[in-house]
Homo-oligomer: A and B are copies of this chain.
Amino acid sequence: MRIAVMGAGAVGCYYGGMLSRAGHQVMLIGRTQHVEAIREHGLLMDTAGFRAHIPVRASTEVSDIQGASLVLCCIKSSDTESAAAMMAPFVRPGATVLSLQNGVDNAKRLHAQLLRTVSPAVVYVAVEMIGPGHLKHHGRGELVVGPSAMSTEMIEDFVNAGVPVDLSDNVDGELWAKLILNCAYNAMSAITKLPYGLLFQNEGARELMRLVVHECLAVAQRESVAVPGDSWQGVERIAATMSGQFSSTAQDLMRGRRSEIDHLNGYIVRRGKSLGIHTPVNQTLYCIVKLLESAFTVIRR
């Protein structure tokens, strides 16, 4: 299978690397820093199960996604429109396009630019780039997709490459379930610079996370989204399975990069406002992350 990964960050490198390791022809599109390192040494994958330099093709040019029968969009939610506009001329007719992004509306936003079917995939993996072309995997790695998102052969290819794929006929609900976990952990981990496990050990933090979950579920309910499972058990599971992990928002802030917070707690706040639902804890967390981002700008001036 020829696969293009748009966005060679931690998530893109993990799935691109796993598929490449299983023999698929993968092209990673990313920033110069990672692309150069990957071209020189391959992708260094530090996972729970193995550590290896995986040969993968890599490029800084979006046009190099051409010819792929599967395109994995692993860009930041804040870059969805701009990346889609760049990709549009190069996505092959008939190619499967998956959005492996945080937030609940990326497939729709990609669709609006690409004018073709884009399916969301809910991503559960704890990864980070710890150096140029160097991926650290802390745990998990499964995807959840809708019944028509991928062909049976494609799913088999993923499973054979060590990537479990769960099917769900309520993938919107699954995206919301993931969004709620992101809302509970991402901002708090970023603001406090604490990993999930230490956050969850703190009684006050657990109480805030409960309030966040409660606010999110109130918005979901008014959006007529049926969130599957028990969201609080999901929060507990994250603490248990990814205890050493810092959120992607934390990683972004530590590196002075703009985060996806507009599409996490910020999304809940915006939807809440338009639906007349108070979301004060999400709003506080959102506002603080935005202030921390703006502080970078102030310091850099």
Contact = CB atoms under 8 A, between A and B. Distances in A.
Contact of A291 (B194, B284, B292): B194
Contacts of A199: 291
Contact of A194 (B192, B207, B286, B295): B295
A17 to B, nearest CB: 32
B193 A287 contact: no
- Number of identical protomers: 2
Interface in A266-301: 280-281, 283-288, 290-292, 294-295, 298
A288 B198 contact: no
A288 B284 CA distance: 10
A281 to B, nearest CB: 5
State the majority secondary structure of interface residues on A: helix
A202 interface: yes
A205 interface: yes
A49 interface: no
A1 interface: no
Contacts of A191: 191, 288, 291
Contact of A204 (B192, B208, B291): B291
A211 interface: yes
Interface in A227-273: none
8 contacts: A191-B288, A198-B298, A202-B291, A204-B290, A205-B287, A208-B283, A284-B284, A288-B288
